[in-house]
Amino acid sequence: MTGMPNDSTFSPADAPPGNAMLIRAVGLKKNYGRTRALKGVSLDVPRGEVLCVIGPNGAGKTTLLYLLGGLLFPSEGHVHVFGLHRWKDNFEIRRRSAILPTIPVFGASPTPYEYLRFLAQIYGQPKEVFLERLRRLCDEMDYLPFLTKDWPQLSTGLQKKAGIIGCFLVNAELRILDEPFAGGIDPMGMEVLYGWMRQARSRGETVVFSTQVLEQAEAAADRIALLREGCLDALATPAEIIEKAGLSAAEPRALSKAFLKLVKDRRNG
Amino acid sequence: MDNIARLKAKRAVQQALLACGFTIAFGTVLALATILPAFDPEQQAFLKYGLIVSTVVAFFSFPLAEGLVRNQDLALARLTPLSPALYYSHTLRRAIPSLFALVVLVPAVFLTCFSLSSHPRAFRGGPFALNLILTYYVSFLLSFHESLSSQTWSFLFFFPRKLLKLLLRMVLSSGWIMVLAGLAAAAACIWWEPWRFFVNGMDALLGLGIWGRIVYYLAIPFAGVFCLHEPSVPVSVQWGLTGLLAAAAVLMIRTVARQWALSPREWDKAVFEEWVGVREEFEDTESRIEEARESRKRFIFTNVYDDGFLPAEQQSSPPAAPQRRNMEYTPSLEPEETLVRHARFWFGHSKGLPAFWTAFTALGWVCLAVLHQDPRVSAPTHDTLEVLLVPAFIWLASVGFLARAGSVAWLPAMPLRWPSLIRADYLFRNPYVFVVDCLAATLITTAAFPHPAFFPVSLAVILVSRFNAYTHAWLVTARHAGHRLGYWIQLAVGGVAWTALMPVCIIFDGLDTSPLAERKLTIMLFVLAWKAGLLAVSAGCGLAEWLRSGSQVAGPAFATAEFPIVPTNTAEAAGENSAGS
């Protein structure tokens, strides 16, 4: 369990050397014009942890993941990943991390195979390693028959699977996935994805993902970050969140009920 | 993985076919250029149609190249450690055919045109041709280098139909053929998917809208009629065409204004609203994506938790919709902010630009029509003036396109490593801009200084033009980053550069002994003075603004909430919201 930094004098020099905390975000704010999407979120994510970000619609989940992933600039606050400054050392961080946005980006490659091959080239993966890993991942995801089909011939779910395969194809110490379970992934694909997340954790990699289905969060995540209206309401293990809501972990769908109770309590002030 | 092997074979065949196609096109042009003068006029007329096809191939290879060169891979640069080297190698491999067309095909068409020396409308041969091709290569290579080295935006706006007109008038004997060709091209653009894609690309580039699109595709055939049969086209038709374009311009302006008359405050408010829309487009993409996605998920969410846990009234009440940008119209904004808003609207926005574009076009037509009707202007003089006026109007219109850079407000929001690459991508995404920049610079400088002895001057003009483009790109970036000092320094340097070019032009133009030398000099000086003045005024505004702000060299000067380059107030932020277990 990692406590939250309340150190208001945090500076880049205080950034961790990169061993303990993989991600350190301090006072993250993000404004879209006058809309305040994030209102000062601080969190630490250690190595080898699977963190799930949940929250109601418009809570700022995607914004938070994009800020951690370097797809957005914070209006205020800062992020350090691997002990490096998110923006000053952006390229180095990218080299060591993989990101799957809400809608996967495949570039100009006309087929999943060419996309994945280009991705492997980007990350400097040797051809043999690429082919071996591609074969293994596609076998597990049952994706081999679709590798050489053009994108328009693939369903939304199959396109999403290509993005997920790409995210786990490359060597990375940090994997950020925005809504990986959404977008038409079938139950078998979800199970495979659970497995890949667990394998990544066992390799000491960190996975940060968001979801709206709390059973998935409970099944896959070590800790859960609950966002609401741009604020971090809770950052704890599923059991601690259930306990905080005054519920018993033995109840069916306890985490879902705890989540709804917490949101309702906050709404009522 | 047999399917992968099959895919590789398929790609190899596609590449080979593409290379063959371009080789055949190139060979056709060269063969025609070689053998054309040997034929009698009737056969030449037949072969000219072949040249038309080749010219159209060359012309449309640029938009077709969009599909090849337009690099969606750049999107991956935001997500992955995509290196510039890999980016370009990956891109250029697919762009070889289009580069082939740019480097070889266009000069080949030039040469073909000059080989038709017997044509009454032909350019002056010899030195002019040599200078044209030399200048084209210089400008092409400069632009190409700039795009590869990610150093600058080097776009000048250019009307492709003007180029088409200048080329086709050399080889085309019937304006009606051009009418049909233009209509066929328009039909193909509408019905054939790749070209429709191109049309959409042009639409995005020019912000044409439906009116602009109609005018654009009608202007090509009409331009052929007008230019090739000027003596035989009745004056009423010429003025009718001019009136049509002017009406289109008025319609566009009216569309922008939505009403014939608006009070200044209402007008300013309308501009403000459009401006906010543009900012939304560039800044809130992810927000809008999430909004659409979450509105879809609302259904899922409700169903998943529809187990009686929530009271019915809470279940049925939809979650609060994500808040849209709620920017109130504030007339008390700073003058500079208002100026930027208006400039972006008029020069950079999808509605302002076509209005200006069409208005300039109509103005050009009016000038040419007046010139044509003036009995004191001889035919050769008219031709020469046209060659000068067309680039002048291109130059004027280019301001709109340069200012369009101001609408690229998302530039600083990209990772620090990539802004320069984004600029290069801007060229690659729009091959028209890339090619047309070379051609426009070529035409401008060659028309002003046709003799090879003036090649150094052409070179100087192109270099200054590129430098100006670079400073412009830099100042846009610097401005968003809040570097006010750099902003006005760059403007001032640009103004000085353009001003310094004037005496060079005067000296070299003094060597021109043609009867039109004085008039050419006047036009060139006007354009240069106008550019220098514009930059000087801008620099003065920048300087005044800088002084007014208390000599703050750098900092969150320009709306840091929108362009938060440097995270600030982290100490305050750190304590605002911390949550733990």
Residues of A within 8 A of B7 (CB-CB) are 111, 113-114, 148
Other Cβ atoms less than 10 A from the Cβ of B366: the count is: 15
Q: Report yes or no: A173 at the B interface, CB cutoff 8 Å.
A: no
pLDDT tens digits, A101-118: 888 888 777 889 989 998
3-state secondary structure chain A: CCCCCCCCCCCHHHCCCCCCEEEEEEEEEEEECCEEEEEEEEEEEECCCEEEEECCCCCCHHHHHHHHHCCCCCCEEEEEECCEECCCCHHHHHHCEEEECCCCCCCCCCCHHHHHHHHHHHCCCCHHHHHHHHHHHHHHHCCHHHCCCCHHHCCHHHHHHHHHHHHHHCCCCEEEECCCCCCCCCHHHHHHHHHHHHHHHHCCCEEEEECCCHHHHHHHCCEEEEEECCEEEEEECHHHHHHHCCCCCCCCCHHHHHHHHHHHHHHCC
Token pair for residue B249? 């311009």
Nearest CB among B76, B412, B570 relative to A10 is that of: B570
For residue A170, the model assigns a pLDDT of 93
B86-100, B361-375, B401-415, range with greatest mean pLDDT:
B86-100
Asked if the Cβ–Cβ distance from B319 to A40 is below 8 Å, we say no
ipTM comes to: 0.79
In this prediction, residues B529-554 reach a mean pLDDT of 50
Q: Report yes or no: A183 at the B interface, CB cutoff 8 Å.
A: no
Residues of A within 8 A of B481 (CB-CB) are none
Tens digit of pLDDT at every position of chain A (269 positions): 333 333 333 333 344 444 568 999 999 988 877 788 898 899 999 999 999 999 888 889 999 998 888 777 788 888 899 988 876 677 788 889 999 988 888 877 788 998 999 899 889 889 899 999 999 999 999 999 999 888 888 898 999 999 999 999 999 999 999 999 887 888 899 999 999 999 999 999 999 999 988 888 888 889 999 898 888 888 888 888 888 888 877 777 788 888 888 777 777 76
Residues of B within 8 A of A118 (CB-CB) are 73, 76, 90
- Best mutation site among A8, A41, A170, A243 for testing chain B: the one with the most B CBs within 10 Å? A8
pLDDT tens digits, B50-88: 454 444 444 444 333 333 334 456 567 667 777 656 765
Q: What residue of A is the nearest CA neighbor of B91?
A: A108
Q: CA B447, CA B440: separation in Å to the nearest integer? A: 10
Residue B401 has pLDDT above 50, yes or no: no
Residues of A within 8 A of B568 (CB-CB) are 76
Residues of B within 8 A of A40 (CB-CB) are 573-574, 576-577
The burial of A219, by beta-carbon neighbours within 10 Å (0-12 exposed, 13-18 middle, 19 or more buried), is given as middle
Residue spans of beta strands (DSSP E) within B209-336: none
Minimum distance, in Å, between the CA of residue B9 and any CA atom of chain A: 12
Residues of B within 8 A of A42 (CB-CB) are 574, 577-579
pLDDT tens digits, B246-291: 555 455 444 444 434 444 455 555 555 555 554 454 444 445 445 5
Minimum distance, in Å, between the CA of residue B420 and any CA atom of chain A: 15
Q: What is chain B's mean pLDDT, rounded?
A: 48
Residues of B within 8 A of A70 (CB-CB) are 78, 415
The region that residue B53 occupies, defined by phi over 0 for left and psi between -120 and 50 for alpha, beta otherwise, is alpha
Residues of B within 8 A of A233 (CB-CB) are 579
Nearest CB among A28, A75, A260 relative to B309 is that of: A260
For residue A243, the model assigns a pLDDT of 85
Nearest CB among A4, A34, A87 relative to B579 is that of: A4
Asked if the Cβ–Cβ distance from A39 to B575 is below 8 Å, we say no
Q: CA A254, CA A245: separation in Å to the nearest integer? A: 10
Asked if the Cβ–Cβ distance from A35 to B287 is below 8 Å, we say yes
Lowest mean pLDDT among B202-206, B229-233, B366-370, B545-549: B202-206
Read off the DSSP letter of residue B207: -
- Best mutation site among B326, B570, B572 for testing chain A: the one with the most A CBs within 10 Å? B570
For residue A45, the model assigns a pLDDT of 93
Q: Report yes or no: A66 at the B interface, CB cutoff 8 Å.
A: yes
